[in-house]
A and B are shown apart, each in its own frame.
Chain A
Amino acid sequence: MVKVNGVQLNIDGKTIAEYIKTTQYDIRRIAVERNGNIVPKSEYDKVVLKEGDSLEVVGFVGGG
């Protein structure tokens, strides 16, 4: 199980990009942190989620 914003999800083995595609998040407008470290955009399709990982995902909007 992987904790995403405090909720346990069964997404072990998926990359961050694969997981985000299953959600409402717009992958171009999010910040992702894994186990306390910011994940650069270029690694979303490389980082594979493992049992016990903790993710924070937050969407950004650009209006004012």
Chain B
Amino acid sequence: MSPPPATIVATGTFFDGLSARPHPVTLRLGSRLEITGSGIREDWRLYDIRASETEPPTMRLALAGSPTRVEFTDEALSLGIEARCPDLRIDDEGRGGMLRLVLWSIAAGISVLLVAIYGVPAAAAIIAPLVPQEVETRFGAAVDGQVVSLLGDPPLCDGAAGKAVLDRLVTRMTEGAVLPGPLVVSVRRHTMANALTLPGARVIVLSDLIEKANTPDEFAGVLAHEIGHVAHRDPTQSVITAGGVSFLLSLILGDLTGSTVIVGVGQAAIAAGYSRNAERAADAYGVAMMLRAGGDGAALATILERIDKDAEKEGSPTGFLRSHPYTKERAATIRRLAGARRPDTGILSNEDWQALKGICSARTSKPGDAKPETPGK
């Protein structure tokens, strides 16, 4: 400071930091700030003066690291202070701190997202085969109850004749297959043409799927595909993935009340499909199983295409955006794997097929009010 700065004088109120008693003072700003009053004689270095936020024209100054405060409303003095005190306002957000914070947060957020998208499924694929069978079986029973209630408690279909046919079919198809635990296939009355695989070797068939199947081989094809998921432990993997992802996302969003985690697991069991690779693997497994059991391997492709076409007709957005080109590709692969059809095959006799169709007894649901979805799940 080459030219000596003009001295600015104003009155204010001083608080000594020891009591709340206000002391009327005179402030004198030169190359230092002098505060004088009755019994008060303060001399502050300009570098040590800090301003805390106030509503203009009130200004409040503090000596760095001390509880003393001086308050005044003189505008000339506050302009002088602003001009002469270099460290008047130091805070978190100054000096590039905020930019660093923003960049680091974005980096952290993106890395958590990447972990959620790639890391968690990879970890789930490693963890899933390590889950002990009994734990998985017990967990499957719990998920079964949850899924059934999410579907709106559809009644169990257990017509004796139909059930016997289904059990015989399942036994024949799974002969020699290596599955994690005994397979449990149940049928429930529902207006959705779908089948769900749950952890613990559980398959829930929704009755409209049997309704939509033109031949027993089509139905058995879908069943074989689901058994493929069971053999590859896809449902366990998907539940672990869903739990992990929703846990990570709730970390980001700061909601740690656990609600997202619980909701996420339930929804994953119903809505979220498996990866395309998992579907392709289950298709291949299903075709092989059908051929081994003496059925028509290509029937799965036929029913996939039919249900997909129905979905498209109804104009459902998932049908249009997701499954359409994907189904074509899947069907072509299935047909290639199945090879030419042997003429005398057919997985069930006509009587057996009729018995199976009657598993939901006389009151079968009307496909008219159905909202079909792909049996890809």
Genuine A/B complex = no
Chain B positions within 8 Å of A, measured between CB atoms, are none
Chain A residues packing against B (C-beta within 8 Å): none
